[in-house]
Amino acid sequence: MSRCVPSNPSVRRPNDADDAEKRDRLRWRGGRVRVFVAGATGALGRPLVARLLEAGHEVVGTTRSEERANDLRAQGAEAAVVDALDADALAAAVRRARPEAVVQQLTALPKAGAAGEREHAATSRLRIEGTRTLLRSAPGARAVAQSVAFLTRPDGRPIHDEDAELYVDGPGSVGVNARAVRDMEADVTKAGGVSLRYGFFYGPGTWYHREGASARDIAEGRAPLVGDGQGRWPWLHVDDAVSATLPALERGEGALNICDDEPAPVAEWMPYAARLLGADPPPRMTIPEALETAGPKLVHYHTTMPGASNARAKGELGWALSWPDWRRGFEHELGDQRAASSP
Ligand SMILES: NC(=O)c1ccc[n+]([C@@H]2O[C@H](COP(=O)([O-])OP(=O)(O)OC[C@H]3O[C@@H](n4cnc5c(N)ncnc54)[C@H](OP(=O)(O)O)[C@@H]3O)[C@@H](O)[C@H]2O)c1
């Protein structure tokens, strides 16, 4: 495992003694641990809880809803009904649970429609304050947090690793999210944990499945392709997000990119998705038109966003993807070929 000290402070390594002590603590029951999952009912939280239980872990999962708490109990997990923005309530729930590992999967992004300033601000609070409360309330626990693979500053290189600079002064929500994950990752790293920088989710429960909001926009011709479409998107099937999160309970340090092998230019993936959804090719939009109607964030996503390399995560976590190529994954999730396209 690499022990280099990269220039980006959010990926600085904790010291070896702390790290070894935390791993020993996790191994004492043969790898079975008591896990507190904050955000147990989301696109990733739900399948993650199922896999943790299957693997023999004990799970305490959070939700704000009594109904979803009952779903968690029916799955075999314990449930904590709590608003993670209420620091005292979250701290009390964590202390009651006495977890050996905490997993942060909280976001306040909408199920449909673009996230606005309010949702991004709430998501930043969940990332920064929510994570801080989790770490403070379970000081000996292994920490795993949800981060983002597509927030690095464009510098002309098509693919970035984890040492690339975060785009903290990026346009709109790019800068907001980059600053939030910078602070969150620094806290997680200091606690000896790992931040998993997931790519764009696709698959069940996400914006990109047949009925998902973004897939519907593409299917109905509402999603334009801006400029040359050379912004590269790191994609990730939710099943692969889950399969990377399990080994992260034991291994991995700093920040790791969790995405597939083929970061794809928008000019490639968007027409491919449209074809699978039975739609016409996406309408084209010039950069000035996009700046006027949607703003600089969309232009960045479509024209300058760098892709991400998953090489470090594969090495550190020993992680193998079920869906290494988004094309096959899209065929499975967006196309009409389910039976023909299992991984
Ligand atoms: N990397 C990515 O591409 C990425 C990352 C995240 C989300 N997304 C997208 O976001 C969309 C929305 O997904 P989703 O609604 O299922 O959400 P989600 O982002 O997958 O999960 C949100 C989780 O956070 C919890 N939560 C939110 N606010 C909370 C609060 N104040 N206190 C406690 N818990 C809180 C929710 O619990 P309760 O609501 O049960 O309380 C839920 O468990 C998905 O379609 C996905 O594609 C994408």
**pLDDT of 245-256, one tens digit each?**
999 999 999 999
Measure the CA–CA gap between 329 and 336, rounded to whole angstroms: 12
- Percent pLDDT > 90 in the chain is 85
pLDDT band at 20 (very low <50, low <70, confident <90, very high): low
Query: At 35, is the pLDDT very low, low, confident or very high (cuts 50, 70, 90)?
Result: very high
Task: Assess whether pLDDT exceeds 70 at residue 28.
Answer: no
In the reported structure, the alpha carbon of residue 94 is separated from the centroid of ligand 1 by a whole-number distance in angstroms of: 19
Judged against a pLDDT cut of 70, whether residue 199 lies above it is answered with yes
Angle at 25 (CA atoms; ends 20, 27), nearest 5 degrees: 95
Average pLDDT, the chain: 91
Q: Which of 294, 272, 255, 236 is nearest to 143 (CA)?
A: 255
Report the pLDDT value the prediction gives residue 315, as an integer from 0 to 100. Answer: 97
**What's the confidence (pLDDT) of residue 2?**
33
Q: What is the pLDDT of residue 25?
A: 55
Ranking 2-16, 125-139, 193-207, 319-333 by mean pLDDT, the lowest is 2-16
Q: Is the pLDDT of residue 19 over 80?
A: no
44-76 as b/e, with b when 16 or more CB fall inside 10 Å?
Answer: bbbbbbeebbeeebbbbbbbeeeebbebbeeee
Residue owning the nearest CA to atom 17 of ligand 1: 42
**Above pLDDT 70, what percent of the chain?**
89
Of the listed ranges 108-112, 205-209, 259-263, the least confidently predicted one is: 108-112
- Measuring from atom 21 of ligand 1, which residue has the nearest CA? 42
Lowest mean pLDDT among 29-43, 151-165, 289-303: 29-43
3-state SS, the chain, equals CCCCCCCCHHHCCCCHHHHHHHHHHHHCCCCCCEEEEECCCCCCHHHHHHHHHHCCCEEEEEECCHHHHHHHHHHCCEEEECCCCCHHHHHHHHHHHCCCEEEECCCCCCCCCCCCHHHHHHHHHHHHHHHHHHHHHCCCCEEEEEEECCCECCCCCCEECCCCCECCCCCCHHHHHHHHHHHHHHHHHHCCCEEEEECEEECCCCCCCCCCHHHHHHHCCCCCEECCCCCEECEEEHHHHHHHHCHHHCCCCEEEEECCCCCEEHHHHHHHHHHHCCCCCCCEECHHHHHHHCCHHHHHHHHCCCEECCHHHHHHHCCCCCCCCHHHHHHHHHCCCCHHHCC
Residue 5 pLDDT > 80, yes or no?
no
Out of 44, 65, 106, 216, give the residue to mutate to test ligand 1, the one with the largest number of ligand atoms within 8 Å of its CB: 106
Instruction: Quote the pLDDT of residue 110.
Output: 82
Compute, in angstroms, the gap from residue 39 CA to the centroid of ligand 1.
7
Spatial separation of the C-alpha atoms in residues 157 and 160, rounded to whole Å: 7
Report the distance separating Cα 300 and Cα 226, nearest Å: 9
Name every protein residue with a CB atom under 6 angstroms from any ligand 1 atom: 39-45, 62-65, 68, 83-85, 106-109, 111, 126, 148, 198, 200-201, 205-207
Minimum-distance ligand 1 atom for the alpha carbon of 206: 45
Question: 265 pLDDT exceeds 70?
Answer: yes
pLDDT of 237 above 90: yes
Rounded to 10 deg, the angle between the 66-75 and 45-54 helix axes is 30
Q: Structural domains in the chain?
A: 9-201+234-260+308-321 (3.40.50.720)
Site to substitute for ligand 1 among 126, 206, 258, 334, most atoms within 8 A of C-beta: 206
Instruction: Please tell me the residue having the least CA distance from ligand 1 atom 10.
Output: 109
Lowest mean pLDDT of 18-32, 59-73, 103-117, 294-308, name the range. 18-32
Name the residue at shortest CA distance from atom 11 of ligand 1: 111
pLDDT in tens, 81-131: 999 999 999 999 999 999 999 999 999 988 776 788 889 999 999 999 999
Question: What's the whole-model pTM score?
Answer: 0.91
Residue nearest to atom 36 of ligand 1 (CA): 39
pLDDT classification of 8: cutoffs 50, 70, 90: very low
Please give the number of the atom of ligand 1 that sits closest to the Cα of 38.
34
* Cα of 43 from ligand 1 centre, angstroms: 7
Output the pLDDT for position 117. 85
State the closest ligand 1 atom to the C-alpha of 202, by its place in the atom list counted from 1.
Answer: 47
Q: Confidence class of residue 196 from pLDDT cuts 50, 70 and 90?
A: very high
Q: Look at residue 343 in the predicted model and tell me its pLDDT.
A: 61
What is the structure's pLDDT at 49?
A: 98
Confidence of residue 257 (pLDDT cuts 50, 70, 90): very high
Distance 42 CA to ligand 1 centre (A): 5
Average confidence (pLDDT) over 147-155: 98
pLDDT value of residue 190: 97
Residue 3 has pLDDT above 70, yes or no: no
